[in-house]
Structure 1
Amino acid sequence: MGFKENALKRSLWVFHFSGGSCNNCDIELLDCLTPRYDLERFGIELVGSIRHADIIAVTGIVNRQCKPRLEKIYKQASKPVFVVACGACPCTGGIFKNSYHTAGPLDEIIPVDAYIPGCPPKPEAIISAIVKLRNKLE
């Protein structure tokens, strides 16, 4: 096992991409960092640069304006990078599925490794999905 894979098991860094969301998923994702849920106990923390991230957490529907930005961010990420669709909107399109401004579900734009359904998803579900991604490395 290489250095990067060993480091990934111990500390996953998450980059949050909000694609036109209603902020419910954003609030739940940030709620995972509070002392009540304490996502950092698993070595997982939020980072501000995609170049340092191991996971891209996408919340909200990806609209036509955000699609090129998301593709560019995905290309800039160091590989391997996991993509998590957080909430009903990036998973299926949610209530905006047949709307004129949507670019489609997230898996039609970039490859997705984990889906967290719900509107908004519970912090327990977010933590569970990220821990399962961590276990996938072993």
Structure 2
Amino acid sequence: MAEIVYALEPGLTAAEFIDVLHRSGLAERRPVNEPERVEAMLRKADLIVTARAGGALVGVARSVTDFVYCCYLSDLAVDRALQGRGVGKELMRRTRAEVRPGTTCLLLSAPKAVTFYEAAGLQRHANAFLFTDMP
């Protein structure tokens, strides 16, 4: 296995992102059939941390943040072939390192990933709410 190289990649392409979403299992919860929308997701993100092995994208953490108060880690995707090897935890650690100390970092877990986040030591928050359309 090639060494994992982590980097900030604000210019990550939609094609690479979509590919790793498929390889991670997250594609079922993202608009991968709408490349223009995925491209907009990437361009409007404030922080994109990647993991590459031998130049190939194997993981990504995409966040929306102001870097001082709140950081929402919207997408954490790791190729299934590397899951369980610390790549996701390192992507989260590097995301956290890019924001100012005291910044609240949060995410919403996919149902299948709850145990990963619990094992990684993240705290559950009972007061989260979702809304898509307001009455």
TM-score of the aligned structures, taking structure 1 as reference length: 0.36
Q: Which has the higher contact order (CA 8 A, sep 6+)?
A: 1
More strand by share: 2
TM-score of the aligned structures, taking structure 2 as reference length: 0.37
